[in-house]
Every structure is written in C-alpha cells, then in structure tokens.
Amino acid sequence: MQVMEMDTANREPTGVREEIAAGWRAVLPACVAVIPLGLALGVLVVHSGLAWWWAPVLGAIVFAGTMEFLLVGLLAAAAPLAQIAVSTLLVNFRHVFYAISFPLHRVRGAGWKAYSTFALTDEAYALTVTPESAEWSRARILSIQGFFHLAWVVCVAVGAGVGSMIPPEVVGLEFAVTALFVVLGLEAYKVRRSLPIPALALACAILAALVSGENMLLIAMGMFAAALVCSYFFAAWRSRRA
Amino acid sequence: MPDPWYVLSGIAVSAAVTWALRAAPFAMLAPLRHSALMAHIGERMPVGMMVILAVYTLRDTDPVVAASAGPAVLALAITIGLHLWRGSMTLSIFAGTAAYVLATSVIAA
C-alpha cells in the first residue's frame, strides 16, 4: 500500500484524474460533516439583516468557519475594521501551527501554493496530518482543499436560501453560534483536560464584559493571551530555580 | 441594511489576516518549530478562545432577568449535557439551538 502510494506520488503528471478522485474520497466525510454548519451560517447571514448573496461571498473569501460566524455578528453590529482585524488575528491564530506539518512542499507552483495556504482550514490540516501525506501529489492535496471549499460555499448559499423562508416570529437562531463555540470548547478541553485554563478564560471574559460590553472580545482575548505568555515565563523561571 | 462597501471591506480585512496567518509561517518555519513559547500558547489557546467567544455571543443576556437568562441556561445545559453524553457535534448544536429558539419564541410571542 505504502509503495503504491509513493509510486503514484512520483508519477504526478500521469495519474492526475485518479489523484483527484482519491482526494475526493478523502474529503467526502468532512464535506458531509460540515453541511449543518454551512446551512446554519447561511441562515445566520439572512437573519442578521445582510442580503442573502453575502453568504456565499463570505464563505468563498474568508473560508474559516468559526471566524465567519463571528464576522457576521461583527458586520451586523458595524464593528470597526480594526476590531475585525484583531479578532481575526486572535481567533485564527491557531493556523500558525498548521505550517509545521502541512505538506506544502508537495504543492509546486506559486499560484497553487498561494491557493493551498489560503484554503488551509482546520479540516484540510486534519486530513493531511498523517505522515503519508508528505508523499501525496499536488493534485490530491489541492482536490481535498478545492472540493471542501466548493462544498462549504454551496452549503452556505443553500442555508441563506432556507433562512429567508423562516418566518420572523421564530427568534433565537443565533444561539447556534453559542452552541458551536461551546462544543468546540469541549472538544479543545479534551486535549489537555485541565480546568485552570478554561477557568482563566472565563474570568477574563466576565471581567472584560463588565469593563466594556462593546470591546469585550478584544479586552478578554488580550488579557488571556498576556496571561498565557506570563504563565510560560513563570513556568520557565520556576523550572530553572528547581 | 449595512453599507455594502463596509461589509466588503470587513470581509477583505478578515480574509487577509486569515491568509497571512496561514501562509506566513511557511516562510519562517524553522524558528517557529523550535519555539517553546509558541508551543505553550498553541496548546492552551483554543479552549480559552472558545470560552471567551461563547461568553461574547451571550453578552446581551441579562443574568438576573429570568426571561433572558432562563432559555440560555436551559439551552447551554442541553448542549453541554448532550455533547458529554453522545459526543456528536451536529446533535449537540441542533438540540441546544432548537431548545433556545423554542423557549425564546414562546416568551416573545
């Protein structure tokens, strides 16, 4: 199996169609999993007072699920562009770490490399995190990213269409975003299973909300990031003394 | 309805920052790989960010008004409980949201 894998990777120009099919098979479960989220985002766009066609535009250009949900709220509240920039920086900061294992060296050509980094979502990272992906062909990697991009835009557009049919008496759909963050938080908690970190974040969030409801996101994330940096230097200082 | 140029600028700014975060590390991969500070932060940041974002989305909920806090507490309990029990993201989000929509729509009506 491994030999075959290496073989197809080295003969890149010949088996392009097979490689695209292999990419499609790899990404299909992720495309299915993302359907409810895409629909929810489309519904949210329409219910936030934005025109329905912003939904596919947003899905195609930003292509970072969690941030898109947050961005809809920020745009609807007419938040300053600087706040959008800093919120994106903090929410998407985790992507910095994906470069460590993503097989970008297999994607040759500046244009393709540009698209591949643009579409380096959590899902693209998760699907290429296995060691054998270091031997995958450009066609396979790009088809994984491209099909996922397409599926996301279609789901978001369909969601926007469905959303405009929901009567205005139905309120509270924005809770889907809260539920998404709570569930993603529980998943992130499973990585370390340590309570002090989420407790610290909760304290930062509540304190920031008391200081300023409007700027709480920036204040809370800033305090939390600063606290993490301090905890690193404190741990380093303690281990040096010990 | 917000000004289309504002919405487009907001989308462009967010996309540019996202892309920079995804592309830049490949250019400076070597120092990043060995930075213990980055590893320390990267491991602890996601859970904290999600907690802050969840609180942010509930910032208009008044904790002392039952009609405002009640549906939120109920929906949070359903979302967290279902997720710990079944572990299915779709089910937890769908059930929590359905409970919240039902409760707030009935209260608003």
pLDDT for A41-95, tens place per residue?
A: 999 999 888 999 999 999 999 999 889 999 999 999 899 999 999 989 988 887 8
Whole-angstrom distance, CA of residue A179 vs CA of residue A214: 21
Chain A residues 92-131 within an 8 A CB cutoff of chain B: 92-100, 104, 114, 117-118, 120
- pTM, entire model: 0.75
Among chain B residues, CA nearest to A55: B11
Q: Which residues, at least 6 apart from B47, have a Cβ–Cβ distance to it below 8 Å?
A: A185, A188, A189, A191, A192, A197, A198, A201
Whether the per-residue pLDDT at A4 is higher than 60: the answer is no
Residues of A whose CB is below 8 A from B31: none
CB A143 within 8 A of CB A20: yes
Residue of A180, A214, A216, A229 for testing the chain B interface, max B β-carbons within 10 Å: A180
CA distance A7 to B64: 65
Q: What tens digit of pLDDT does each residue of B47-74 get?
A: 888 899 899 889 888 888 888 899 999 9
Query: A225 CA to chain B: closest CA distance, Å?
Result: 8
Q: In which band, very low, low, confident or very high, does the pLDDT at B18 lie, cut at 50, 70 and 90?
A: very high
Q: Does B93 contact A85 at a Cβ distance shorter than 8 Å?
A: no
Q: State how far the Cα of A66 lies from the Cα of A50, in Å rounded to an integer.
A: 18
Q: Which residues of B touch A65 (CB under 8 A)?
A: none
| ipTM above 0.90 for this complex | no
- B21 compared with A98, residue with greater pLDDT: B21
In a mutational test of the A interface, the residue from B57, B58, B62, B68 whose CB has the highest number of chain A CBs within 10 Å is: B57
The whole-number pLDDT of residue B90 equals 81
CA distances from A1 to A5, A14, A127, A223 (A): 6, 19, 18, 49
Report helix, strand and coil shares of chain A as percent, to nearest 5: 80, 0, 20
Size of interface A-B (CB pairs under 8 A): 248
Q: What does the block give as tokens for B69?
A: 């806090």
pLDDT in tens, B75-93: 999 999 999 999 888 889 8
**What separation in angstroms does the CA of A213 have from each of A63, B59, B65?**
28, 7, 17
> Helices then strands (H, E): number in chain A?
12, 0
- What angle separates helix A81-91 from helix B4-27, to the nearest 10 degrees? 40
In chain B, what are the domain boundaries?
A: 1-34, 45-108
Check if A221 contacts B (Cβ < 8 Å).
yes
* pLDDT-above-70 percentage for chain A: 93
C-alpha to C-alpha distance for B83 and A105, rounded to whole angstroms: 38
Out of A78, A117, A209, whose CB is closest to B59?
A: A209
pLDDT of residue B33: 60
How confident is residue A155, by pLDDT bands cut at 50, 70 and 90? very high
Q: Residue B71 and residue B76: Cα distance in Å, rounded?
A: 8
Q: What are the CA-CA distances from residue B104 to residues A193, B70, B79, B91, B109 (Å)? A: 33, 9, 16, 20, 8
Cβ atoms of B73 and A194 within 8 Å: the answer is no
**Backbone phi and psi for residue A172, each to the nearest 5 degrees, phi listed first:** 95, 5
Dihedral sign, Cα of residue A104, residue A91, residue A40, residue B76: positive
Say how far apart CA A46 and CA A91 lie, in whole Å.
23
Indicate the average pLDDT of chain A.
86
Quick check: helix, strand or coil at residue B28? coil
Q: Cα dist. A4→A47, A144, A194 in Å?
A: 50, 19, 42
Is A233 exposed, middle or buried, given 0-12, 13-18 or 19+ CB atoms closer than 10 A?
exposed
